[in-house]
Amino acid sequence: MVTIALGICVFGFIATLIYFAATFVFEENAPDANERLGRLLGNNTLNNLPGETTGNLLREQQEVNWSGKLILSAFPNAEDFVRQSGIGLSVGGLGTLSAAFFLGGTALHVLFLPFKMFAPLVGGFLALLPFMYVMWKRKRRLAKYSEYLPDALAMMCNALKAGQSLNACFNLVSDQAPAPLGPEFGRCFEEQNLGIPLETALVEMAKRAPNVDLKFFATAVILQRQTGGDLCEILEKIARLIRERFQIQGMIMALTGEGRLSGAVLLGLPPVLAVTMFFLNQEYIMRLFTHPLGQQMLAGAGVAQVLGFFWIRKIIDIKV
């Protein structure tokens, strides 16, 4: 029975890897589709959009495979979540990769590690790694908006003082600002060229990139166009506010560094010590898994670890 299950896991792992590699091979035809769409729109409007944006537009028209449908049924906003990470991977591809990690981790645990009953748990943990990577990439990408936005606002303010229009300022930022801020401003600029009102384009940009500072910028521009006022002064105040907030965040990171390091040590020490004791004295550590009292102690320690993780995170997570 174990041999049959192991064979199924190995076969599924290889099949999912082949399918995952095939998706990248077939997606190489996307540039041809971009070129055809650009000819239909004229003046290379689509080709002027960043590659990340055009890939998203084409990906929205593709069918979702079984793994993507399963993820979307549980998390309806998963497609936006993955797109905001900027990894260039669809929800279906992410689900397929997660399934491959699960089957491969389960098979490797059964082949090379003891405690065969924990193989599905190991596979489940490995299946979460692609999602954890997407969350990490999304967090870093959204933080870059706040990092690049002050310089972009200063650039727009200088262009406005020089007599440039607001639409030309968006084009300037799209050319000068690095990704991901530049491509977002470029898409907003192209949407205005296609006839979409500026207010609508700004609202959609804030939805695509749910960054607080970018939402402040979009709200300020929309209110200024409705009520009037000095837009350059508003942009300067927003840029100064963002820079001051970055300084405060740096101070908080320095002051909470000891707490974050202590939390990492306290959370990582028990698993590392357990693995070390398993290789040094297996008979000694096995009583925790075989004796009923040891199993209860493991369960209590696991609950305490989880509570301690969230407790320490709550202490050091200071909102600015």
13-17, 138-142, 157-161: which range is least confident on average?
13-17
Q: What residues have CB less than 8 Å from 115, skipping those under 6 apart?
A: 289
For residue 180, whether the previous peptide bond is cis, meaning omega lies within 30 degrees of 0, is: yes
Give the pLDDT score at 5.
54
Listing DSSP states for 257-293 in one string gives HHHHHHHHHHHHHHHHHHHHHHHH-HHHHHHHHHSHH
Q: Which residue type sits at 143?
A: A
- Residue 191 banded pLDDT, cuts 50, 70, 90: very high
The whole-number pLDDT of residue 134 equals 93
Rounded Cα distance between 130 and 125, Å, is 10
Count CA within 13 A, CB hemisphere, residue 133: 14
What is the pLDDT, as a whole number, of residue 25?
41
CB-based contacts of 169: which residues, under 8 Å, 6+ apart? 155, 156, 159, 160
Closest by Cα among 239, 242, 244, 203 to 223:
203
pLDDT at 57: 44
113 dihedral zone (left: phi>0; alpha: psi -120 to 50; beta): beta
| pLDDT score, position 121 | 85
pLDDT, residue 37, reads 46
Task: Examine the pLDDT at 7 and tell me if it is beyond 70.
Answer: no
- How many degrees, rounded to 5, is the angle at CA 263 between CA 260 and CA 267? 145
Residue 8 has pLDDT above 50, yes or no: yes
pLDDT of 22 over the 90 cut = no
Q: pTM for the full model?
A: 0.72
CA distance 93 to 241: 39
Measured in whole angstroms, how far is the alpha carbon of residue 180 from the centre of its chain? 13
Per-residue pLDDT tens digits for 71-127 = 888 788 888 888 888 888 888 888 888 888 888 888 888 887 777 777 888 888 899
Lowest mean pLDDT among 40-49, 243-252, 301-310: 40-49
Tens digit of each residue's pLDDT (9 = 90 or more) over 29-50: 444 444 444 544 444 444 444 4
Q: What is the pLDDT of residue 13?
A: 54
Alpha helices by DSSP H, listed for the chain, are 2-26, 30-41, 45-48, 51-59, 66-74, 78-85, 91-112, 119-161, 166-176, 181-193, 198-208, 212-227, 231-255, 257-280, 282-290, 292-316
> What pLDDT sits at residue 254?
85
Q: How many CA atoms lie within 13 A of 169 on its CB side?
A: 21
User: 287 pLDDT exceeds 70?
Assistant: yes
Q: Which two tokens stand for residue 319?
A: 């909102």
> Tokens 């910028």, residue?
217
**In angstroms, rounded to a whole number, what is the distance separating the alpha carbons of residues 132 and 56?**
21
State mean pLDDT over 295-307.
88
Output the pLDDT for position 281: 85
Q: How far apart are CA 2 and CA 116, in angstroms?
A: 9
pLDDT category at 18 given cuts 50, 70, 90 is low
Q: Where are the domains of the chain?
A: 2-141, 164-254, 257-316
